[in-house]
Structure 1
Amino acid sequence: MTVIEGYVPFRGHRTWYQVVGELGGPDGRVPLLVVNGGPGLPHDYLQDLAVLADDGGRPVVFYDQLGCGRSDRPDDPALWTIDTYVAELGAVRETLGLDPVHLLGHSWGTQVVLEHLLGKPTGVTSAILSGPIASAPLYQAEARRLKAELPADVQQTLDRHEAAGTTDDPAYQGATIAYYRQWMCRLDPWPEYIVQGMADMRHDIYGALWGTAEWNLTGALKDWDVTDRLGEVDLPVLVTSGRYDVCTPAVVRPVAEGIPGAEWVLFEKSAHLASIEEPEHYRQVVTGFLSEIEAD
């Protein structure tokens, strides 16, 4: 399998990308562009999606969002806005000639994809929204409900450090991992690339956009809500989530019901990372959806 890497110039910086497979190859399959979650994470935790390139020669494209992973890491807080990352997605598409393209967004990546789609771009064949968010306030409310299900001592640790403003304390970080192991990824142990990705997280970007924790939104996106605009999305959409997902049915249902004709698949053994927790099933669902779209 051919793998190439390079950089897309973007606002005076460089965005790293990787193509698994051959763009414009003889099979002519529409490429799949993956937009990962975070904010502040590299793409590595979704690297298993490269297997989708084995599906009849479909190219799969990854990139590290600005500030993360192998992309440039400027120290400029003014860059940490959703508009930056929506524009970056457009730059990756334009530079690599991804028209037509399928888009796959995960978690925060679904927010970037939704904003891109609401801008009415050309050339998007379909979108896959995995663990989607259309309303940050609704997400926060559900995250707080899930937090309340943690053991009392874990909640007390979280609350104590949030009140004291010491969320960089190792005890707080450890308590946060307890939340992630319930509703982000339930595999035990976690694959090493998830551990490394979490270790490489840019907490300043996460904080600027999101907040101090999943249930404590203080960043620029705390009031972000496109629920009322979902009806404007006029292309085939696959929505996926897990039974134990931090994106609970209450969070996902408005997306699945708000986008005309969207299909929603619930992975019964997964939390937020069905592509890792149920990889074969996830692959079958995604390839089946893409094949059906391209057969029409």
Structure 2
Amino acid sequence: MSEPTVVSGHAPFGDHETWYRVTGDLTGGQIPLVVVHGGPGSTHDYLRNLSDLAEDGRPVVHYDQIGNGGSTHLPDRGPDFWTVRLFLDELDNLLRHLGIDDEYILFGQSWGGLLSTAHAAERPAGLRGLVIANSPASYPLWLQEAKVLRERLPPGVNETLLRHEAAGTTDAPEYTEAMMPFYERHVCRLKPWPGDFLASIMELNNDPTVYRTMNGPSEFHVIGTLKDWSVEALCPDVEVPTLVLSGRHDEATEATVRPFAELVPDARWEIFEESSHMPHLEEPERFREVMTEYLDSLD
């Protein structure tokens, strides 16, 4: 089979633009997979290897959510602008722009999984399947579990984190250094970290507007506008076959993921034993097997 074509562009979104890339042929007959990245405020880069799924003939769409990457940056906008509704509207707009809103599958990773669940709960006519990868069903649950994981870090690490969080000095190099044991255990266990993952971290560091506004200074210190947000009540409204993915060592612990498995009517849960928050990078072969089996079941 020949290499899939790759086309990138920008979808107008009000006064702004959403950058996207399509790997494969949207008119080839297979249902496209749309990849919704995490953050909020990260970029598509760390999920780039999902484009490998296009080798089987299925088109794969990546995009950067507004506020970072190749999309419009708006560093001066405040919390009233950065809302869940904004990102739901952006996703709807992209699907219409690409002409695939009549038939598509969503893959939402981390924050992208909550966003995709909220999208699916609106019962869009064209949605055929949903993958919720490494996502908590609520931020209160996420914070509750993050506290447990933090307390298991090496001696002194959590004390350092707590001291800086209390003082409001989370920009200090000591705080950044103390974050690393958590990230190495529960975000990505690979050493060294893959280039695609580092690319998203660099983009996020270059423009942390969305992440800091909606999330906070770190994965485990959520003090932004999402801190009380949950999609648990929306799960029963998801009508499509749903695949739930998580890692055994994931910062999205089993307690945070379980509501998806229990409340979404047609859900199946796969746990990756050797992974934390990035099974697509940490166990790429098994990840592709699980994804291919699920996607084939929808065709």
TM-score (norm: length of structure 1):
0.95
The match for 2:15 is: 12
Contact 1:132/1:255 (8 A) holds in 2: no
**CA-to-aligned-CA distance 1:236-295 (integer Å, 9 cap, x gap):** 00001000011111011111111012000010110010000000100110110010121x
Where do 5+ consecutive residues of structure 1 fail to align? none
Equivalences for 1:55-204 in 2 at 5 Å?
55=56, 57-75=57-75, 76-77=77-78, 78-98=80-100, 99-201=102-204, 202-204=207-209
SS of the counterpart of 1:142? helix
Match of 1:36 in 2: 37
In the TM superposition, residue 229 of structure 1 has moved relative to its aligned partner by 2.6
Q: Aligned partners of 2:217 and 2:195: how far apart in 1?
A: 24
User: In 2, distance between residues paired with 1:148 and 1:169?
Assistant: 21
Q: Which amino acid aligns with 1:84?
A: L
Task: Say which is worse superposed, 139-148 or 205-214, in terms of deviation.
Answer: 205-214
Worse overlay, 237-246 or 204-213: 204-213
Tell me the number of residue pairs that the alignment of Structure 1 and Structure 2 aligns: 291
Distance in 2 between the 1:229 and 1:50 partners? 29
SS in 2 for 1:221: coil
TM-score by length of 2: 0.95
* Distance in 2 of aligned mates of 1:261 and 1:236: 5
| Residue number in structure 2 paired with 1:47 | 48
How big is each residue's C-alpha offset from its partner over 1:164-188, in whole Å with a ceiling of 9 and x where there is no partner? 1111112211211221110011001
Note the alpha carbon deviations across 1:143-180, whole angstroms, 9 max, x for none.
11101111122212211211111111122112112211
Displacement of 1:90 after TM fit? 0.6
- 1:11 and 1:174 map into 2 onto residues whose CA distance is 40
1:254 counterpart = 2:259: yes
Do the aligned partners of 1:105 and 1:130 also contact (CA within 8 Å) in 2? yes
What is the alpha-carbon distance in structure 2 between the residues aligned to residue 83 and residue 173 of structure 1?
Answer: 31
Question: Aligned to 2:156, what secondary structure does the other structure show?
Answer: helix
In 1: Cα distance, 2:16 partner to 2:233 partner: 34
Q: Tell me, in whole angstroms, the C-alpha distance in 2 between the residues paired with 1:63 and 1:44.
A: 9
**Quick one: distance in 1 between partners of 2:283 and 2:147?**
26
CA drift at 1:120:
1.9
Unpaired segments ≥5 residues, structure 2: none
